[in-house]
Amino acid sequence: MKDLTHYINGERVSGTSGRFSDVFNPATGEVQSRCPLASKEEFDQAVEIAAAAQPAWGATNPQRRARVMMKFVDLLNRDMDKLAEALSSEHGKTFPDAKGDVQRGLEVVEYCIGAPQMLKGEFTDSAGPGIDMYSMRQPLGVTGGITPFNFPAMIPMWMFAPALACGNAFILKPSERDPSVPIMLAELMEEAGLPKGLLQVVNGDKEAVDAMLDNETVQSIGFVGSTPIAEYIYGRGCSNGKRVQCFGGAKNHMIVMPDADMDQAADALIGAGYGAAGERCMAISVAVPVGDEAADKLIEKLVPRIEKLKVGPYTAGDDVDYGPVVTAAAKQNILGLIESGIQQGAELVVDGRDFSLQGYEDGFFVGPHLFDRVTPDMDIYKKEIFGPVLSTVRAGSYEEAIGLAMDHEYGNGTAIFTRDGDAARDFANRINIGMVGINVPIPVPLAYHTFGGWKKSAFGDLNQHGPDAFRFYTRTKTITSRWPSGIKEGGEFNFKAMD
Protein backbone atom coordinates (compact mmCIF):
# COMPACT_ATOMS: atom_id res chain seq x y z
CA MET A 1 0.00 0.00 0.00
CA LYS A 2 1.47 3.33 -1.09
CA ASP A 3 1.32 6.18 1.43
CA LEU A 4 1.01 9.60 -0.18
CA THR A 5 2.60 12.69 1.34
CA HIS A 6 2.19 16.40 1.92
CA TYR A 7 4.40 18.91 0.09
CA ILE A 8 5.99 21.27 2.56
CA ASN A 9 8.97 23.58 2.13
CA GLY A 10 9.80 22.09 -1.24
CA GLU A 11 9.75 18.45 -0.14
CA ARG A 12 7.37 15.54 -0.13
CA VAL A 13 6.94 14.85 3.58
CA SER A 14 5.11 12.01 5.29
CA GLY A 15 2.14 12.75 7.49
CA THR A 16 2.74 12.54 11.24
CA SER A 17 -0.85 12.57 12.52
CA GLY A 18 -1.29 8.82 12.07
CA ARG A 19 -4.61 9.47 10.30
CA PHE A 20 -5.18 8.50 6.65
CA SER A 21 -8.01 8.19 4.18
CA ASP A 22 -8.19 5.67 1.37
CA VAL A 23 -7.69 6.73 -2.23
CA PHE A 24 -9.52 4.42 -4.62
CA ASN A 25 -9.10 3.37 -8.20
CA PRO A 26 -12.74 4.15 -9.07
CA ALA A 27 -12.67 1.80 -12.08
CA THR A 28 -11.87 -1.28 -10.01
CA GLY A 29 -13.03 -0.21 -6.58
CA GLU A 30 -9.63 -1.08 -5.13
CA VAL A 31 -7.79 1.09 -2.64
CA GLN A 32 -4.64 2.24 -4.44
CA SER A 33 -3.02 4.45 -1.79
CA ARG A 34 -3.58 6.26 1.48
CA CYS A 35 -3.74 10.02 1.83
CA PRO A 36 -2.33 11.48 5.06
CA LEU A 37 -4.72 13.71 6.98
CA ALA A 38 -2.84 16.57 8.59
CA SER A 39 -3.18 17.58 12.21
CA LYS A 40 -3.59 21.21 13.25
CA GLU A 41 0.10 21.24 14.26
CA GLU A 42 1.22 20.04 10.82
CA PHE A 43 -0.93 22.66 9.15
CA ASP A 44 0.29 25.48 11.39
CA GLN A 45 3.90 24.51 10.74
CA ALA A 46 3.34 24.83 6.99
CA VAL A 47 1.90 28.30 7.57
CA GLU A 48 5.00 29.38 9.52
CA ILE A 49 7.24 28.27 6.66
CA ALA A 50 5.06 30.09 4.14
CA ALA A 51 5.04 33.26 6.24
CA ALA A 52 8.85 33.27 6.34
CA ALA A 53 9.14 32.80 2.56
CA GLN A 54 6.49 35.31 1.47
CA PRO A 55 8.03 38.77 2.10
CA ALA A 56 10.94 38.24 -0.33
CA TRP A 57 8.57 36.87 -2.98
CA GLY A 58 6.15 39.77 -2.45
CA ALA A 59 9.02 42.18 -2.99
CA THR A 60 10.13 40.44 -6.20
CA ASN A 61 9.54 42.35 -9.43
CA PRO A 62 6.19 41.10 -10.80
CA GLN A 63 7.75 40.43 -14.17
CA ARG A 64 10.10 37.92 -12.57
CA ARG A 65 7.14 36.28 -10.87
CA ALA A 66 5.40 36.18 -14.26
CA ARG A 67 8.43 34.41 -15.75
CA VAL A 68 7.91 31.58 -13.27
CA MET A 69 4.36 31.28 -14.60
CA MET A 70 5.67 31.27 -18.16
CA LYS A 71 8.04 28.42 -17.41
CA PHE A 72 5.29 26.59 -15.51
CA VAL A 73 3.12 26.65 -18.66
CA ASP A 74 5.93 24.95 -20.60
CA LEU A 75 6.28 22.30 -17.89
CA LEU A 76 2.54 21.64 -17.80
CA ASN A 77 2.62 21.06 -21.55
CA ARG A 78 5.69 18.84 -21.21
CA ASP A 79 4.04 16.70 -18.51
CA MET A 80 0.46 16.88 -19.76
CA ASP A 81 0.11 13.12 -20.33
CA LYS A 82 1.72 12.23 -17.01
CA LEU A 83 -0.57 14.61 -15.12
CA ALA A 84 -3.67 13.40 -16.98
CA GLU A 85 -2.79 9.76 -16.29
CA ALA A 86 -2.40 10.39 -12.54
CA LEU A 87 -5.61 12.40 -12.55
CA SER A 88 -7.68 9.75 -14.36
CA SER A 89 -6.38 6.96 -12.16
CA GLU A 90 -7.66 8.62 -8.97
CA HIS A 91 -10.70 10.52 -10.28
CA GLY A 92 -11.89 8.08 -12.93
CA LYS A 93 -12.56 10.62 -15.69
CA THR A 94 -11.53 9.78 -19.26
CA PHE A 95 -8.03 10.59 -20.45
CA PRO A 96 -9.08 13.42 -22.85
CA ASP A 97 -11.26 14.89 -20.09
CA ALA A 98 -8.33 14.74 -17.64
CA LYS A 99 -6.20 16.65 -20.15
CA GLY A 100 -9.00 19.22 -20.37
CA ASP A 101 -8.86 19.54 -16.57
CA VAL A 102 -5.14 20.41 -16.79
CA GLN A 103 -5.67 22.61 -19.84
CA ARG A 104 -8.37 24.82 -18.25
CA GLY A 105 -6.04 25.39 -15.30
CA LEU A 106 -3.10 26.09 -17.60
CA GLU A 107 -5.12 28.83 -19.33
CA VAL A 108 -5.48 30.68 -16.02
CA VAL A 109 -1.72 30.36 -15.50
CA GLU A 110 -1.26 31.95 -18.94
CA TYR A 111 -3.57 34.78 -17.89
CA CYS A 112 -1.45 35.31 -14.76
CA ILE A 113 1.60 36.00 -16.93
CA GLY A 114 -0.09 39.40 -17.29
CA ALA A 115 0.48 40.11 -13.57
CA PRO A 116 2.79 43.12 -14.17
CA GLN A 117 0.01 44.80 -16.15
CA MET A 118 -2.72 43.81 -13.67
CA LEU A 119 -0.73 45.06 -10.66
CA LYS A 120 0.34 48.43 -12.07
CA GLY A 121 -1.97 50.44 -9.85
CA GLU A 122 -3.33 53.95 -10.36
CA PHE A 123 -1.77 57.38 -10.25
CA THR A 124 -3.20 60.90 -10.16
CA ASP A 125 -0.72 63.66 -10.78
CA SER A 126 -1.45 66.96 -8.92
CA ALA A 127 -4.48 65.77 -6.99
CA GLY A 128 -3.94 69.01 -5.03
CA PRO A 129 -1.24 71.68 -5.06
CA GLY A 130 2.00 69.69 -5.05
CA ILE A 131 0.07 66.57 -4.13
CA ASP A 132 0.11 63.25 -5.94
CA MET A 133 -2.16 60.37 -5.15
CA TYR A 134 -1.49 56.75 -6.06
CA SER A 135 -2.93 53.35 -5.30
CA MET A 136 -1.02 50.13 -5.27
CA ARG A 137 -2.06 46.53 -5.01
CA GLN A 138 -0.08 44.64 -2.41
CA PRO A 139 -0.11 40.92 -1.68
CA LEU A 140 -2.10 39.71 1.31
CA GLY A 141 0.65 37.48 2.72
CA VAL A 142 -0.19 33.82 3.34
CA THR A 143 -3.32 32.73 1.48
CA GLY A 144 -5.07 29.36 1.40
CA GLY A 145 -7.43 27.27 -0.68
CA ILE A 146 -9.63 24.20 -0.23
CA THR A 147 -10.56 22.34 -3.40
CA PRO A 148 -13.03 19.62 -4.50
CA PHE A 149 -12.38 16.22 -6.02
CA ASN A 150 -13.93 16.90 -9.41
CA PHE A 151 -11.21 19.15 -10.91
CA PRO A 152 -8.02 18.24 -9.04
CA ALA A 153 -5.77 20.14 -11.49
CA MET A 154 -7.89 23.03 -12.75
CA ILE A 155 -9.31 24.43 -9.52
CA PRO A 156 -6.04 24.39 -7.54
CA MET A 157 -4.43 26.28 -10.45
CA TRP A 158 -7.33 28.77 -10.55
CA MET A 159 -6.36 29.63 -6.99
CA PHE A 160 -2.61 29.30 -6.63
CA ALA A 161 -1.60 30.86 -9.97
CA PRO A 162 -3.15 34.29 -9.28
CA ALA A 163 -2.28 34.11 -5.56
CA LEU A 164 1.41 33.53 -6.34
CA ALA A 165 1.51 35.93 -9.31
CA CYS A 166 0.29 38.63 -6.90
CA GLY A 167 3.19 37.92 -4.53
CA ASN A 168 1.46 35.77 -1.91
CA ALA A 169 2.35 32.42 -0.43
CA PHE A 170 -0.38 29.80 -0.92
CA ILE A 171 -1.33 26.72 1.08
CA LEU A 172 -3.53 24.24 -0.72
CA LYS A 173 -5.75 21.73 1.05
CA PRO A 174 -6.86 19.61 -1.92
CA SER A 175 -9.52 16.90 -1.94
CA GLU A 176 -8.37 13.80 -0.08
CA ARG A 177 -10.05 11.66 -2.77
CA ASP A 178 -7.56 12.51 -5.56
CA PRO A 179 -4.53 14.15 -3.94
CA SER A 180 -1.66 13.16 -6.29
CA VAL A 181 -1.94 15.79 -9.02
CA PRO A 182 -1.83 18.84 -6.71
CA ILE A 183 1.55 17.67 -5.39
CA MET A 184 2.85 17.13 -8.92
CA LEU A 185 1.76 20.68 -9.74
CA ALA A 186 3.60 22.09 -6.71
CA GLU A 187 6.77 20.28 -7.80
CA LEU A 188 6.45 21.69 -11.30
CA MET A 189 6.04 25.22 -9.90
CA GLU A 190 9.29 24.78 -8.06
CA GLU A 191 10.99 23.42 -11.17
CA ALA A 192 9.72 26.56 -12.91
CA GLY A 193 11.64 28.69 -10.41
CA LEU A 194 9.25 29.27 -7.51
CA PRO A 195 11.27 29.50 -4.27
CA LYS A 196 10.58 26.88 -1.61
CA GLY A 197 7.85 27.37 0.95
CA LEU A 198 5.61 29.53 -1.24
CA LEU A 199 3.32 26.79 -2.53
CA GLN A 200 2.62 24.01 -0.09
CA VAL A 201 0.14 21.19 -0.25
CA VAL A 202 -1.25 20.02 3.07
CA ASN A 203 -3.58 17.06 2.70
CA GLY A 204 -6.38 16.57 5.15
CA ASP A 205 -10.00 16.68 6.14
CA LYS A 206 -12.04 18.89 8.48
CA GLU A 207 -9.17 19.13 10.97
CA ALA A 208 -6.83 20.73 8.42
CA VAL A 209 -9.65 22.94 7.10
CA ASP A 210 -10.47 24.16 10.60
CA ALA A 211 -6.77 24.80 11.21
CA MET A 212 -6.76 27.01 8.09
CA LEU A 213 -9.94 28.79 9.19
CA ASP A 214 -8.56 29.56 12.64
CA ASN A 215 -4.92 30.33 11.80
CA GLU A 216 -4.41 34.07 12.27
CA THR A 217 -1.59 34.27 9.74
CA VAL A 218 -3.80 33.01 6.90
CA GLN A 219 -5.27 36.13 5.31
CA SER A 220 -7.66 34.70 2.74
CA ILE A 221 -9.40 31.45 1.89
CA GLY A 222 -10.75 30.28 -1.43
CA PHE A 223 -13.11 27.31 -1.34
CA VAL A 224 -14.78 25.23 -4.05
CA GLY A 225 -17.01 22.29 -3.12
CA SER A 226 -20.52 21.52 -1.94
CA THR A 227 -22.85 24.24 -0.62
CA PRO A 228 -23.16 23.15 3.03
CA ILE A 229 -19.35 23.19 3.41
CA ALA A 230 -19.13 26.46 1.45
CA GLU A 231 -21.56 28.08 3.89
CA TYR A 232 -19.64 26.73 6.87
CA ILE A 233 -16.28 27.96 5.58
CA TYR A 234 -17.65 31.34 4.56
CA GLY A 235 -19.25 31.91 7.97
CA ARG A 236 -16.32 30.80 10.10
CA GLY A 237 -13.66 32.33 7.85
CA CYS A 238 -15.39 35.73 7.72
CA SER A 239 -16.03 35.81 11.45
CA ASN A 240 -12.30 35.17 11.91
CA GLY A 241 -11.66 38.32 9.88
CA LYS A 242 -10.42 36.66 6.70
CA ARG A 243 -11.19 37.48 3.11
CA VAL A 244 -13.22 34.50 1.88
CA GLN A 245 -14.73 33.38 -1.43
CA CYS A 246 -16.67 30.11 -1.55
CA PHE A 247 -18.17 28.39 -4.58
CA GLY A 248 -20.80 25.73 -3.97
CA GLY A 249 -23.12 23.26 -5.64
CA ALA A 250 -25.33 23.60 -8.69
CA LYS A 251 -28.46 22.50 -10.49
CA ASN A 252 -28.07 23.86 -13.98
CA HIS A 253 -31.18 24.14 -16.18
CA MET A 254 -31.18 24.14 -19.95
CA ILE A 255 -34.31 25.70 -21.47
CA VAL A 256 -35.18 24.21 -24.85
CA MET A 257 -37.55 26.47 -26.78
CA PRO A 258 -39.89 24.92 -29.38
CA ASP A 259 -37.98 26.67 -32.18
CA ALA A 260 -34.60 25.20 -31.13
CA ASP A 261 -32.67 22.89 -33.40
CA MET A 262 -33.59 19.69 -31.53
CA ASP A 263 -30.64 17.66 -32.81
CA GLN A 264 -28.27 20.36 -31.63
CA ALA A 265 -30.05 20.62 -28.27
CA ALA A 266 -30.00 16.83 -27.79
CA ASP A 267 -26.28 16.62 -28.65
CA ALA A 268 -25.57 19.45 -26.24
CA LEU A 269 -27.51 17.75 -23.45
CA ILE A 270 -25.64 14.50 -23.91
CA GLY A 271 -22.22 16.13 -23.45
CA ALA A 272 -23.34 18.52 -20.71
CA GLY A 273 -25.45 15.99 -18.80
CA TYR A 274 -23.35 12.84 -18.95
CA GLY A 275 -19.77 14.08 -19.57
CA ALA A 276 -17.48 13.30 -16.60
CA ALA A 277 -20.35 11.12 -15.28
CA GLY A 278 -22.23 14.32 -14.43
CA GLU A 279 -19.59 15.23 -11.83
CA ARG A 280 -19.19 18.82 -13.00
CA CYS A 281 -20.51 21.91 -11.28
CA MET A 282 -21.43 23.19 -14.73
CA ALA A 283 -23.13 19.94 -15.84
CA ILE A 284 -26.67 20.39 -17.12
CA SER A 285 -28.81 18.25 -14.84
CA VAL A 286 -32.24 19.62 -15.75
CA ALA A 287 -33.65 19.92 -19.28
CA VAL A 288 -36.68 22.20 -19.55
CA PRO A 289 -38.39 21.79 -22.92
CA VAL A 290 -41.12 24.35 -23.50
CA GLY A 291 -44.37 22.74 -24.66
CA ASP A 292 -45.27 19.05 -24.89
CA GLU A 293 -44.41 18.87 -28.57
CA ALA A 294 -40.86 20.10 -27.94
CA ALA A 295 -40.60 17.77 -24.92
CA ASP A 296 -41.70 14.69 -26.90
CA LYS A 297 -39.29 15.53 -29.73
CA LEU A 298 -36.42 16.11 -27.33
CA ILE A 299 -36.97 12.84 -25.45
CA GLU A 300 -37.23 10.98 -28.76
CA LYS A 301 -33.85 12.38 -29.82
CA LEU A 302 -32.19 11.88 -26.44
CA VAL A 303 -33.03 8.21 -25.88
CA PRO A 304 -30.99 6.66 -28.75
CA ARG A 305 -28.08 8.98 -28.00
CA ILE A 306 -28.08 7.95 -24.33
CA GLU A 307 -28.34 4.28 -25.21
CA LYS A 308 -25.22 4.63 -27.36
CA LEU A 309 -23.09 6.12 -24.56
CA LYS A 310 -19.94 4.15 -23.80
CA VAL A 311 -19.16 3.90 -20.12
CA GLY A 312 -15.79 2.49 -19.12
CA PRO A 313 -12.40 2.92 -17.49
CA TYR A 314 -10.05 5.62 -18.80
CA THR A 315 -7.66 2.86 -19.85
CA ALA A 316 -10.14 1.60 -22.46
CA GLY A 317 -9.25 4.39 -24.89
CA ASP A 318 -10.57 7.63 -26.30
CA ASP A 319 -13.98 6.35 -27.36
CA VAL A 320 -15.17 6.00 -23.76
CA ASP A 321 -17.70 8.77 -23.06
CA TYR A 322 -17.49 8.76 -19.32
CA GLY A 323 -15.96 6.79 -16.47
CA PRO A 324 -16.93 5.71 -12.97
CA VAL A 325 -18.00 8.12 -10.24
CA VAL A 326 -15.45 8.88 -7.57
CA THR A 327 -16.38 6.63 -4.64
CA ALA A 328 -18.78 3.87 -3.62
CA ALA A 329 -20.51 6.42 -1.37
CA ALA A 330 -21.07 8.76 -4.33
CA LYS A 331 -22.54 5.84 -6.29
CA GLN A 332 -24.88 4.91 -3.42
CA ASN A 333 -26.04 8.51 -3.10
CA ILE A 334 -26.84 8.69 -6.84
CA LEU A 335 -28.69 5.35 -6.84
CA GLY A 336 -30.65 6.42 -3.75
CA LEU A 337 -31.79 9.61 -5.46
CA ILE A 338 -32.80 7.61 -8.57
CA GLU A 339 -35.00 5.39 -6.36
CA SER A 340 -36.53 8.48 -4.79
CA GLY A 341 -37.33 9.84 -8.25
CA ILE A 342 -39.18 6.65 -9.16
CA GLN A 343 -41.05 6.59 -5.85
CA GLN A 344 -42.03 10.24 -6.13
CA GLY A 345 -43.59 9.65 -9.55
CA ALA A 346 -41.04 10.69 -12.16
CA GLU A 347 -40.94 8.60 -15.33
CA LEU A 348 -37.62 6.77 -15.76
CA VAL A 349 -37.26 6.72 -19.55
CA VAL A 350 -33.70 5.37 -19.65
CA ASP A 351 -32.89 3.06 -16.75
CA GLY A 352 -29.18 2.47 -16.15
CA ARG A 353 -29.56 0.75 -12.79
CA ASP A 354 -28.53 -2.66 -14.09
CA PHE A 355 -25.36 -1.37 -15.66
CA SER A 356 -22.35 -3.56 -15.04
CA LEU A 357 -19.04 -3.78 -16.84
CA GLN A 358 -17.37 -7.12 -17.32
CA GLY A 359 -14.07 -7.25 -15.44
CA TYR A 360 -14.96 -4.08 -13.50
CA GLU A 361 -17.90 -5.33 -11.44
CA ASP A 362 -16.54 -3.67 -8.29
CA GLY A 363 -15.89 -0.32 -9.98
CA PHE A 364 -18.05 2.70 -9.19
CA PHE A 365 -19.78 2.82 -12.57
CA VAL A 366 -23.29 4.22 -12.91
CA GLY A 367 -25.20 3.71 -16.15
CA PRO A 368 -26.87 6.74 -17.76
CA HIS A 369 -30.39 7.66 -16.63
CA LEU A 370 -33.05 9.90 -18.12
CA PHE A 371 -36.11 11.04 -16.20
CA ASP A 372 -39.17 12.66 -17.77
CA ARG A 373 -42.07 14.45 -16.04
CA VAL A 374 -39.99 15.55 -13.07
CA THR A 375 -41.69 18.16 -10.88
CA PRO A 376 -40.14 20.81 -8.60
CA ASP A 377 -41.26 19.08 -5.38
CA MET A 378 -39.18 15.93 -6.10
CA ASP A 379 -35.83 15.30 -4.43
CA ILE A 380 -34.18 14.61 -7.81
CA TYR A 381 -35.10 18.18 -8.76
CA LYS A 382 -34.23 19.90 -5.50
CA LYS A 383 -30.91 18.16 -4.80
CA GLU A 384 -27.65 18.10 -6.70
CA ILE A 385 -27.28 14.47 -7.89
CA PHE A 386 -23.72 14.84 -9.27
CA GLY A 387 -24.10 11.73 -11.41
CA PRO A 388 -25.11 10.68 -14.95
CA VAL A 389 -28.79 11.48 -14.44
CA LEU A 390 -30.69 14.01 -16.54
CA SER A 391 -34.10 15.20 -15.33
CA THR A 392 -36.68 16.61 -17.72
CA VAL A 393 -39.17 19.14 -16.38
CA ARG A 394 -41.85 20.01 -18.91
CA ALA A 395 -42.78 23.70 -18.93
CA GLY A 396 -45.98 25.06 -20.46
CA SER A 397 -44.46 28.38 -21.49
CA TYR A 398 -41.22 30.34 -21.65
CA GLU A 399 -42.29 32.26 -18.51
CA GLU A 400 -42.77 29.01 -16.61
CA ALA A 401 -39.37 27.74 -17.80
CA ILE A 402 -37.42 30.85 -16.78
CA GLY A 403 -39.37 30.90 -13.50
CA LEU A 404 -38.19 27.37 -12.68
CA ALA A 405 -34.53 28.28 -13.14
CA MET A 406 -35.00 31.51 -11.19
CA ASP A 407 -36.78 29.86 -8.27
CA HIS A 408 -34.19 27.12 -7.80
CA GLU A 409 -31.89 27.73 -4.84
CA TYR A 410 -28.75 27.18 -6.92
CA GLY A 411 -27.59 29.69 -9.52
CA ASN A 412 -24.33 28.50 -11.02
CA GLY A 413 -24.97 28.12 -14.74
CA THR A 414 -27.84 27.87 -17.19
CA ALA A 415 -28.49 27.77 -20.93
CA ILE A 416 -31.21 28.49 -23.43
CA PHE A 417 -31.47 26.82 -26.82
CA THR A 418 -33.53 28.82 -29.30
CA ARG A 419 -33.43 30.47 -32.72
CA ASP A 420 -35.18 33.54 -31.33
CA GLY A 421 -32.76 36.36 -30.46
CA ASP A 422 -35.42 38.23 -28.51
CA ALA A 423 -36.10 35.27 -26.18
CA ALA A 424 -32.37 34.70 -25.71
CA ARG A 425 -31.76 38.36 -24.91
CA ASP A 426 -34.63 38.49 -22.43
CA PHE A 427 -33.35 35.30 -20.78
CA ALA A 428 -29.79 36.63 -20.43
CA ASN A 429 -31.06 39.89 -18.93
CA ARG A 430 -33.57 38.55 -16.44
CA ILE A 431 -32.07 35.31 -15.20
CA ASN A 432 -30.62 35.39 -11.65
CA ILE A 433 -27.78 32.99 -12.44
CA GLY A 434 -24.06 33.77 -12.78
CA MET A 435 -23.09 32.08 -16.06
CA VAL A 436 -25.43 31.90 -19.04
CA GLY A 437 -25.13 30.04 -22.34
CA ILE A 438 -27.09 30.92 -25.46
CA ASN A 439 -27.08 27.79 -27.61
CA VAL A 440 -23.98 26.85 -25.57
CA PRO A 441 -24.59 24.13 -22.99
CA ILE A 442 -21.68 24.55 -20.54
CA PRO A 443 -20.97 28.26 -20.45
CA VAL A 444 -17.67 28.13 -18.55
CA PRO A 445 -16.05 31.55 -19.03
CA LEU A 446 -12.48 31.63 -20.33
CA ALA A 447 -9.53 32.59 -18.12
CA TYR A 448 -9.67 36.34 -18.86
CA HIS A 449 -13.35 36.59 -17.81
CA THR A 450 -14.46 35.57 -14.34
CA PHE A 451 -16.17 32.41 -13.10
CA GLY A 452 -18.83 32.36 -10.41
CA GLY A 453 -22.44 31.57 -9.67
CA TRP A 454 -25.19 33.38 -7.77
CA LYS A 455 -27.56 32.40 -4.95
CA LYS A 456 -26.50 29.24 -3.04
CA SER A 457 -23.78 28.53 -5.60
CA ALA A 458 -21.39 31.22 -4.39
CA PHE A 459 -20.62 33.19 -1.24
CA GLY A 460 -18.45 36.30 -1.27
CA ASP A 461 -17.99 39.29 -3.50
CA LEU A 462 -15.47 38.34 -6.14
CA ASN A 463 -15.40 35.59 -8.75
CA GLN A 464 -12.60 33.21 -9.63
CA HIS A 465 -9.91 34.00 -12.25
CA GLY A 466 -9.98 36.96 -14.63
CA PRO A 467 -9.55 40.47 -13.16
CA ASP A 468 -11.44 39.50 -9.97
CA ALA A 469 -8.63 37.12 -8.98
CA PHE A 470 -6.15 39.99 -8.93
CA ARG A 471 -8.55 41.93 -6.70
CA PHE A 472 -9.12 38.97 -4.39
CA TYR A 473 -5.42 38.21 -3.89
CA THR A 474 -4.27 41.80 -3.28
CA ARG A 475 -5.28 44.67 -1.08
CA THR A 476 -5.30 48.24 -2.20
CA LYS A 477 -3.22 50.88 -0.50
CA THR A 478 -3.74 54.50 -1.50
CA ILE A 479 -1.01 57.03 -0.84
CA THR A 480 -1.43 60.80 -0.81
CA SER A 481 1.96 62.40 -1.13
CA ARG A 482 3.26 65.95 -0.85
CA TRP A 483 6.93 66.81 -0.89
CA PRO A 484 7.77 70.20 0.66
CA SER A 485 10.25 72.19 -1.38
CA GLY A 486 13.70 70.83 -0.65
CA ILE A 487 17.04 70.64 -2.33
CA LYS A 488 15.84 71.87 -5.70
CA GLU A 489 15.51 75.48 -4.32
CA GLY A 490 19.15 75.65 -3.36
CA GLY A 491 20.52 73.45 -6.10
CA GLU A 492 22.70 74.58 -8.99
CA PHE A 493 21.12 73.95 -12.34
CA ASN A 494 23.38 75.84 -14.77
CA PHE A 495 26.77 74.95 -16.12
CA LYS A 496 29.27 77.15 -14.42
CA ALA A 497 31.77 78.98 -16.56
CA MET A 498 35.17 77.47 -16.04
CA ASP A 499 37.65 80.02 -14.65
Interacting residues with ligand NAD between 2 and 21 (CB under 6 A): none
- The minimum distance between CB 36 and ligand NAD, in angstroms, equals 13
| Active-site residue set | 281
| Contacting residue, 229, 257, 268, 385, with ligand NAD by CB under 6 A | 229
- Using the rule CB under 6 A, is 214 a contact of ligand NAD? no
Q: Which member of 90, 176, 187, 372 binds ligand NAD (CB under 6 A)? A: 176
Q: Which stretch binds ligand NAD (CB under 6 A): 71-79, 133-141, 221-229, 300-308?
A: 221-229
DSSP class of 496: P
316 by Cβ neighbours in 10 Å (0-12 / 13-18 / 19+) ranks as: middle
Query: Between vectors from CA 211 to CA 474 and to CA 25, what angle results, nearest 5°?
Result: 100
Residues 371-400 that bind ligand NAD (CB under 6 A): 384, 386
Q: Shortest gap between Cβ of 148 and ligand NAD (angstroms)?
A: 3
37 contacts 176 by C-beta, under 8 angstroms: yes
Residues linked to residue 123 through DSSP beta bridges, in sequence order: 134
Q: Which is nearer to ligand NAD, 226 or 344 (CB)?
A: 226
Q: How far is the CB of 217 from ligand NAD (least distance, A)?
A: 19
Residue 193 vs 445, nearer CB to ligand NAD: 445
Task: Give me the 337-366 binding string for ligand NAD, x by CB under 6 A, dash otherwise.
Answer: ------------------------------
- Nearest to ligand NAD of 50, 209 (CB atom): 209
The number of residues that bind ligand NAD (CB under 6 A) is: 26
Give the angle 140-142-147 at the CA atoms, nearest 5°.
110
- In this structure, are strands 122-128 and 131-139 parallel, antiparallel, or unpaired? antiparallel
- Nearer Cβ to ligand NAD, position 54 or 245? 245
Q: Is 225 in the site for ligand NAD (CB under 6 A)?
A: yes
Can you tell me which of 72, 170, 247, 473 binds ligand NAD, judged by CB under 6 A?
Answer: 247
* Cβ atoms of residues 270 and 302 within 8 Å: yes
Interface stretch with ligand NAD, choices 23-31, 75-83, 205-213, 442-450 (CB under 6 A): 205-213
- For residues 85-144, which are near ligand NAD according to CB under 6 A? none
Q: What minimum distance in Å lies between the beta carbon of 160 and ligand NAD?
A: 14
DSSP for 226-278 reads -HHHHHHHHHHHHHTT-EEEEE----EEEEE-TTS-HHHHHHHHHHHHHGGGG
- Specify the residue, 53 or 334, whose C-beta has the smaller distance to ligand NAD: 334
Q: Under the criterion CB under 6 A, does residue 412 sit at the interface with ligand NAD? A: yes
Crossing angle of the two packed helices 95-112 and 154-165, in degrees rounded to 10:
10
Q: Which of 205, 261, 267, 420 binds ligand NAD (CB under 6 A)?
A: 205
When the beta carbons of 44 and 267 are compared against ligand NAD, the nearer one is 44
213 touches 347 (CB < 8 A): no
Residue type, 303: V
Burial classification of residue 368, based on how many CB atoms lie within 10 Å of its CB (0-12 exposed, 13-18 middle, 19 or more buried): buried
Nearer of residues 58 and 92 to ligand NAD, judged by Cβ: 92
Q: Which of residues 270-289 bind ligand NAD (CB under 6 A)?
A: 281
Nearer CB in complex with ligand NAD: 172/295: 172
Residue-by-residue DSSP string for 324-347: --S-HHHHHHHHHHHHHHHHTT-E
Query: 136 to 175, contacts with ligand NAD by CB under 6 A?
Result: 146-151, 173, 175
**145 versus 363: smaller Cβ distance to ligand NAD:** 145
Q: Assign 470 to helix, strand or coil.
A: helix
User: Quick one: CA dihedral 88, 91, 93, 99, positive or negative?
Assistant: negative
What are the residues facing 306 on neighbouring strands? none
Query: How far apart are CB 112 and ligand NAD at their closest, in Å?
Result: 18
Do 166 and 242 contact (CB within 8 A), yes or no?
no
Binding of ligand NAD at residue 234 (CB under 6 A)? no
What is the C-alpha separation between 267 and 400, in angstroms, rounded? 24
Comparing every residue's Cβ against ligand NAD, the nearest one is: 225
Closest CA to 259 of 296, 290, 302, 285: 290
Query: Is residue 103 packed enough to be buried (19+ CB in 10 Å), middle (13-18) or exposed (0-12)?
Result: middle
Q: Is 249 in the site for ligand NAD (CB under 6 A)?
A: yes
- Can you tell me which of 457, 468, 469, 470 binds ligand NAD, judged by CB under 6 A? 457
Query: What does the longest C-alpha to C-alpha distance in the chain come to?
Result: 108
- Tell me how far, at minimum, the Cβ of 480 lies from ligand NAD, in Å: 39
Nearest residue to 265 via CA among 295, 309, 293: 295
* Residues that bind ligand NAD in the complex, under the rule CB under 6 A: 146-151, 173, 175-176, 205-206, 209, 224-226, 229, 247-250, 281, 384, 386, 412, 453, 457
